[in-house]
Amino acid sequence: MRWLTLLLIAIAPSVFADGHHSAHVSLDWDAALTGEHRSDANKARDAHRHPQETLQFFGLKPNMTVLEVSPGGGWYTEVLAPLLAEQGRLVAGHGSPNGSAYSRRSLGRYLQKLGENHDVYASVDVRVMQPPQTPIDVTAESIDLAVVFRNVHSWLRADNAEAALADIFRSLKPGGTLGIVQHRGVEGTTLEDMKRKAYVPESKVISLAQAAGFVLDAKSEINANQKDTKDYPRGVWTLPPSFTEGDKDRKRYAAIGESDRMTLRFKKPQKAIGLGK
């Protein structure tokens, strides 16, 4: 029967590459990053946020089921949706329409964005994700990759970091990946300052993820910024793109660029342990 196995591999090599059909189809980064669905302002942020390098570091493949946690206005959705449209699936875990005023406004703007460019975002599956009250409604162990962009400080403010990570852990397949990008704080920063300024020490993020059962797989300096002094009274929002100080020292803050950020890749063990078991 060895000849039959070799014949099948020759006919359909992509089936045997990693257990998925069309595994060798490449991601169309040009269409995702330069398409007309993205504004010039959002494209300009690529120089600071390095979406292609970041998603490649997280191990994105075109046939994955990806959970984007708290996508906000959808900056990363603009990139992920076209990349996954042909073979994969993008699940957006957003706030509840019955939540706070902020949650309603954020979800409303996000849905409006999807509706205004339906051809690009038709396959985005929007689900409520507001743990611990509302865990995301996806089948356990159905997600290949979960991505969290600049949300850990929000979890800390809401006192639901443990619940959010447990929800992600439950959703991920054994061996699945959690990718986190977060404003990086100085070690020794108090919890109050983490909540107030959004800078979180790397050790804090790692310990939270490990407590949920994740294993740290790798770190990257893709989104590092040594110009960021992290000592602004109004926190990370002083820097672009928020510029909460208005015109005050705007040129100085623009020259600094966006915040210094950690980029961490975690794995859910093949044999699940921890809070998400």
Return the closest-CA partner of residue 95 out of 134, 40, 60: 134
Own/partner contacts of 7-15, CB < 8 Å, gap of 24 or more, are none
* Domains within the chain, CATH numbers bracketed: 29-223 (3.40.50.150), 225-259 (no CATH)
| DSSP-assigned letters across all residues of 93-105 | EE--TTS-HHHHH
Kindly compute the dihedral angle of the four CA atoms of residues 152, 156, 158, 164, in this order, to the nearest 10 degrees. 50
Whether this model's pTM surpasses 0.75: yes
| Overall residue count recorded for the chain in this entry | 277
Which pLDDT tens digits describe the chain residue by residue (277 residues)? 444 333 333 434 433 344 444 445 799 999 999 999 999 999 999 999 999 999 999 999 999 999 999 999 999 999 999 999 999 999 999 988 888 888 889 999 999 999 999 999 999 999 999 999 999 999 999 999 999 999 999 999 999 999 999 999 999 999 999 999 999 999 999 999 999 999 999 999 999 999 999 999 999 999 999 999 999 999 999 999 999 999 999 999 999 999 999 999 999 999 755 444 4
CB 189 within 8 A of CB 200: yes
CB 205 within 8 A of CB 179: no
